[in-house]
């Protein structure tokens, strides 16, 4: 089955802009540009699968079609590690969720793949020097 030449370049005037953007976002997530650095591809993969899996090196490596050791070796060559990237993605997501939602911390822990609420709290203190409730209290203080 061959597409008519130029068929992929066709312009559709009746396409809903929201549906078009959703389709473009989906394509970008499913077929990341190979020219992106591996660290960027790992970051995009973690962001795209946030809450859908545990965000382990093995899971991300499988999604990128490589062995976990190969993934880490290439990241080492780029001067970073899987854990550094994962920490940045998850800490950013946690901070956004703490600032933008009132979801219970236990639910946030589940969404971000933490085994329990206390594990999320320990990570929060390590990343930000404060507990999730402390961060929310500071946010509430700034909103007044």
14: buried, middle or exposed (CB in 10 Å: 19+, 13-18, 0-12)?
exposed
Domains of the chain (ranges; CATH) run: 34-143 (1.10.10.60)
Helix axes 82-100, 117-128, angle to 10 degrees: 100
pLDDT tens digits in sequence order for the chain, 144 residues long: 555 555 555 555 566 777 777 776 777 777 665 557 899 999 999 998 887 777 889 999 999 999 999 999 999 999 999 999 999 999 999 999 999 999 999 999 988 888 899 999 999 999 999 999 999 998 877 655
**Per-residue model confidence (pLDDT) at position 82:** 96
């Amino acid at each position: 089955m061959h597409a008519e030449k130029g068929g992929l370049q066709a312009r559709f005037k009746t396409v809903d802009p929201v549906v078009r953007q959703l389709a473009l976002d989906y394509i970008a997530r499913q077929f990341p540009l190979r020219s992106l650095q591996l660290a960027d591809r790992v970051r995009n993969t973690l962001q795209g699968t946030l809450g859908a899996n545990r965000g382990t090196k093995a899971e991300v490596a499988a999604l990128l079609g490589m062995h976990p050791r190969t993934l880490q070796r290439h990241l080492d060559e780029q001067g970073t590690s899987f854990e550094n990237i994962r920490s940045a993605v998850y800490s950013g997501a946690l901070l956004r969720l703490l600032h933008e939602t009132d979801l219970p911390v236990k639910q946030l822990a589940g969404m971000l793949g933490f085994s329990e609420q206390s594990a999320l709290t320990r990570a929060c203190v390590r990343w930000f020097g404060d507990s999730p409730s402390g961060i929310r209290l500071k946010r509430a203080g700034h909103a007044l």
